[in-house]
Amino acid sequence: MDLMKSGWFSEVSELWPGQSFSLEIKQVLFHKKSKFQDVLIVQTKNHGRALILDGIIQCTEFDEFSYQEMISFLPLCVHKNPEKVLVVGGGDGGVAREVAKHPLVKEFVQVEIDSMVIEQSKKFLPFMAKGFESPKLTLVVGDGFEYMKKHQNEFDVIITDSSDPVGPAVNLFTEGYFHLLKTALKPHGVICSQAGTVWSDLHHVKETLKNCQKHFPAVKYSISSVPTYPNGQIGYLVASLDENVDLTKPVYRLSENQIEALSLRYYNSQIHEASFVLPNFFNRTLWS
């Protein structure tokens, strides 16, 4: 393997041309092609363990909490009563870990298409895969599209924890997907999806927001810092079926004690609000 020869893994993608992020690797723990993608799990030198799908870093032990906490708590904290939740994707278990924490969530279903990611995360990435141990969770191996077609008007919140818009996740950014999300939600339902960053691809973020706006009256875009993602940043699309909801203001606010008790390392109620405040060049281009 070239990877082990050099001792470094380098992430190169046409999604972010002319730049590359590299991690020093101590050991390859798992590497195999699944039915859907290339699955690589490594022990890095300084970033703990990392999951890499189709050559793109999905999460590292160093910084995964920023993404997992934000994509989970942003939608959960703007819904008045997020009792029943659906997670699409998220095969590493990190989102399940965070959703399980929220005091108002009574039950949640997770639909992940690639069983290899689930199994190997359980084996090698227990800091995330411990999310699968929640008694609130029903884990389904299958296609999120197909699942939602059979489960209409059922969920308060739906979180889409997908990889980037190439490979198995390509459909999770389309208008058709947002239509399906809408039908699977109960009234007042809220969604949150990984939406890329404007630094990498303004056009893609804008398209995704537009696709969502065709079916949701309230749509916002939020960002958080994730150092091992391209440009060190990831964006979240948060949307509600209820046009009167201010998605930037959490209705469920966390106390200092709760933050401590829930082991939240990134998300707090102030970060929630601040994460929707965007640089001028984002604002100018995103909503025009």
Catalytic residues, by residue number, are: 161
Nearer to a second copy, 9 or 132 (CB): 9
CA–CA distance, 174 with 128 (Å, rounded to integer): 28
Considering the complex, what minimum distance in angstroms separates the CB of residue 129 from a second copy? Answer: 22
Contact assessment for residue 97 and residue 125, using Cβ atoms and an 8 Å cutoff = no
Q: 95, 89, 129: which is closest to 113 by C-alpha?
A: 89
CA–CA distance, 288 with 286 (Å, rounded to integer): 6
* Residues engaged in binding a second copy (CB under 8 A): 8, 10, 17-24, 44-47, 63, 66, 199, 223, 225-233, 259, 264-268, 270-271, 273-275, 277-281
Q: 232, 176, 175, 256: which is closest to 209 by C-alpha?
A: 175
Nearer to a second copy, 9 or 124 (CB): 9
Kindly give, in sequence order, each residue whose CB lies less than 8 Å from that of residue 161, ignoring residues fewer than 6 positions away.
71, 87, 88, 89, 90, 94, 95, 194
Considering the complex, what minimum distance in angstroms separates the CB of residue 275 from a second copy? Answer: 8
Contact assessment for residue 54 and residue 255, using Cβ atoms and an 8 Å cutoff = no
Nearer to a second copy, 78 or 109 (CB): 78
Nearer to a second copy, 127 or 145 (CB): 127
User: Radius of gyration of the chain from Cα atoms?
Assistant: 18
Considering the complex, what minimum distance in angstroms separates the CB of residue 76 from a second copy? Answer: 17
Considering the complex, what minimum distance in angstroms separates the CB of residue 202 from a second copy? Answer: 13
Q: Is 265 helix (H, G, I), strand (E, B) or coil?
A: coil
